[in-house]
Amino acid sequence: MTLKLLKEDGLKKLIEALNKADTRVVGPKRNKAGMVTYDDVNADTELELDEVIGRYSPKDAFFPQHETVMRYKLDGKDVHVKAETPVIKETVLLGVRPCDAAAMISLNKVFTWDYVDTLFTERQKKATIISLACNNADESCFCTSVGFAPDGTEGSDILLKKIKSGGYLAELITKEGEAFATTHKSIFENAPAKADTVAIAEPTKLDIDIDRIKSWLDDKEKSWEHPLWEQLAAKCVGCGGCTFVCPTCHCFDIVDEPYGDQGKRVKNWDGCQFDHFTLHASGHNPREHQPQRWRNRFSCKFKIYPDRFEKKGCVGCGRCIRVCPVNLDITEAMTEITQIAK
């Protein structure tokens, strides 16, 4: 793996270059409400690279919360239908965290599993992910407990590491990464033999064993009706915040929005924590209460994902913990189950 060096003004130059090339740059940026989200950046000064992690995941770049899939127009007795083919620009995800980068791989599995969702894959194809290793973690970070690392490389094309004296050490991970560096060779300079990088963050390592968790979940006899679900999740109000901030949650809903004699079919984020997510037309709801819905979310991360996509469903970003209004802490469940499953 090649190492390169980004000088202090490297990012500045890079963004200028990308702007020139009319490439979309998405990075951590403080919005009007003062929170950091991943949004279009036009200058390195906008970047908030010291923030532990953005409020939402950057998945929005590939899987927008709201997008039109087709439009229709009534014309007399006929209907004109036209599929949506949005213009998709070259995109660079700059300064996202390794966990988010890894999550993109998991997401890809979902959107290419049976039907290939070109709206997603196109965007992903045209994107280069330049992630930034974490130098600090907060109480909610737990990537190391689920097999990822603050400087993990999975999903990134290039991984940046902060150099004490300024600038970044760039690990070119994929050939796309290599290519990207070559395109911008003036910015990606040759790295010195030894660069003194800032210490990598060390999130608390929790007593969690995801394999044990999975095997417990596999044993439905034991796990399905276990009182644990209610003990933990009865307090859940079903706000769904966790699903919206989660980098691997991927559920969406398709609805028509009429406007006069025309309209569009839109694809909007949905979440398994909403009470109407599984409501049948009959009025019956197989997941009647919040604990069952939360059991589903949990199983999705630690059983369904591995089973179906041989991928981890949780990258330990901790967003769901930060955003939860009732302190429903997924790591609490994981540690407890790890115990139970002993």
Partner 1 sequence: MSEEKVENKEVWTPRIIAYVCNWCTYGGADLAGTSRKTYDASVRVIKLPCTGRIDPLFLLKAFERGADSILVSGCHPGDCHYNTGNYHSRRRWTAFRDLLEFSGIDMRRIHFSWISAAEAVKWVDVVNDVSEKTKELGPYTEFQRINEKIKEYDGIFAEQG
Partner 2 sequence: MESLQSKAKELIKDASVAVIIGYAAGTKKGKTKPFFAYSEEDCEKLIFTPECVNNLTIYLTRKFDFMKKGKVAIVAKGCDIKTINVLIQENQLKRDDVVILGVSCEGVVDKDVILDRAELTADLPEDKKSIKCITCDVNTPSDFDHLFGEGVESKAIEPMTGGIYDEVDKVRGMAQGEKWNFWMEHFERCIKCYACKKVCPLCYCDVCITEKNQPQWIETSAHERGNYAWNIKRAMDLSGRCTFCGECDRVCPAEIPLNLLNQEMAKLNYEAFDGYRAGYQTEEKPPFVSFKEDDDEGFIR
Partner 3 sequence: MSRVGVFVCHCGTNISATVDVAKVAEEMKNQPGVVYTEDYKFMCSSPGQGKLKEIIDEHKLDSVVIAACSPHMHEKTFRNAAEAAGLNSFKVEMANIREQCSWVHPDKAEGTVKSLDLTKKMIEKVRLNEELDKIVMPVTKKALVIGGGIAGIQAALDIAAAGTEVIIVEKDVTLGGHMIQLSETFPTLDCSQCIMTPKMVEASLNPNITIYTYAEVEALDGYVGNFRARIRRKAKSVVEEDCTGCGICQEKCPKKVDNPFEMGHGKSKAIAVPFPQAVPNVPVIDRDSCIYYKTGKCRICEKVCGPKCIDFDQQDEIVNVDIGAIVVATGYDTMPLDRFGEYGYGKYKDVIDGLTFERMASAAGFTEGEMKRPSDGKTPETVVFIQCVGSRDESKGVSYCSKICCMYSAKQTMLYKHKVHHGKAHVFYMDIRAGGKNYEEFVRRAIEEDDANYIRGRVSRVYEKGDKLIVKGADTLSGRPVTIEADMVVLATAMTARKGADKLAQTLGISYDRYNFFSESHPKLRPVETNTAGIFLAGACQAPKDVPETVAQASAAASKVLGLLSQETLKREPITAEVNEANCIACFDCLNICPYGAITSKGITDRDGNIIKEVAEVNPGVCQGCGLCNAACRSKTIELRGFKDNQIYAEINSLAV
- Please tell me whether residue 66 adopts helix, strand or coil conformation: strand
User: Which CB sits closer to partner 2, 86 or 325?
Assistant: 325
Please, what is the minimum distance in Å from the beta carbon of residue 77 to partner 3?
7
Partner touching 85 among partner 1, partner 3, partner 2, none, CB below 5 to 8 Å by kind:
partner 1
Q: How many other C-beta atoms can be found within 10 angstroms of the C-beta atom of residue 75?
A: 10
- Rounded to a whole number of angstroms, the distance between the first and last alpha carbons of the chain is 40
The interface mask with partner 3, positions 237-266, x = CB under 8 A, is: ---------------------xxxx-----
Partner touching 71 among partner 1, partner 3, partner 2, none, CB below 5 to 8 Å by kind:
partner 1
- Please tell me whether residue 324 adopts helix, strand or coil conformation: coil
List binders of partner 3 among 57-76 (CB under 8 A). 74, 76
List binders of partner 3 among 18-57 (CB under 8 A). none
Partner touching 43 among partner 2, partner 1, partner 3, none, CB below 5 to 8 Å by kind:
none
Tell me the C-alpha distance between 91 and 108, whole Å. 16
Please, what is the minimum distance in Å from the beta carbon of residue 254 to partner 1?
15
Of the ranges 62-70, 99-107, 187-195, 295-303, which one interacts with partner 1 (CB under 8 A)? 62-70
Q: How many residues does the chain have?
A: 342
Q: What are phi and psi of 311, to 5 degrees?
A: -135, 155
Partner touching 82 among partner 2, partner 3, partner 1, none, CB below 5 to 8 Å by kind:
partner 1
Please, what is the minimum distance in Å from the beta carbon of residue 269 to partner 1?
14
Name the residue among 96, 98, 100, 141 with its Cα closest to residue 249.
100
Contacts of 284 (CB under 8 A, 6+ apart): none
Tell me the C-alpha distance between 320 and 239, whole Å. 11
